Homo-oligomer: A and B are copies of this chain.
Amino acid sequence: MAKQKTDQKADLLQGTLDMLILKAVSLGPLHGYGIIQRIRQISGEMLEVEQGSLYPALYRIEQRGWVSSQWEKGETGRRVKLYTLTKVGRAQLEVEEASWDRLALAIAKVRQAT
């Protein structure tokens, strides 16, 4: 299906996946497969989340109460598991974004060092 991905295996860093998922779901309820597509889309085709990474992560995230899920009939008539961001999840997203900002800033400083 033409994955290609600019030949560079950009692989996510451990810990960033949760933030990406929360962000994707924050744009509106979504099912698992759709999350992968949305992340790919909003990252400009740069990030490709594997199913084997996503589903365990979703389970984990739901356990922590950051998202809630319910089975629904999708637009195509098929049953899909819709995930919705909870209030706690929205707060967590902000925490993770702040944490990322701090790290990115720190790394930037290190990069400048001579």
Interface of A toward B, CB cutoff 8 Å: 8, 10-16, 19-20, 23-24, 27, 39, 42-44, 46-47, 97, 99-100, 102-107, 109-111, 113-114
A46 touching B111 in the complex, CB below 8 Å, given contacts A8-B99, A103-B10: no
Task: Report whether A12 and B109 are in contact in the complex, using a CB–CB cutoff of 8 Å.
Answer: no
**Candidates B12, B39, B99, B114; contact of A103 at CB < 8 Å:** B12
> Could you list 5 A-B pairs, sorted by A, with CB under 8 Å?
A10-B99, A13-B14, A13-B16, A23-B110, A44-B109
Residues of B within 8 A of A8 (CB): 99, 102
Residues of B within 8 A of A110 (CB): 20, 23-24, 39, 42-43, 47
Residues of B within 8 A of A104 (CB): 104
**Candidates B15, B27, B46, B105; contact of A102 at CB < 8 Å:** B46
Residues of B within 8 A of A16 (CB): 13, 103, 107
Residues of B within 8 A of A106 (CB): 10, 43-44, 46-47
A11-B15, A20-B110, A23-B110 known; 11 other A-B pairs, CB under 8 Å? A10-B99, A10-B102, A12-B103, A13-B13, A20-B107, A42-B110, A46-B102, A46-B105, A47-B110, A100-B107, A104-B104
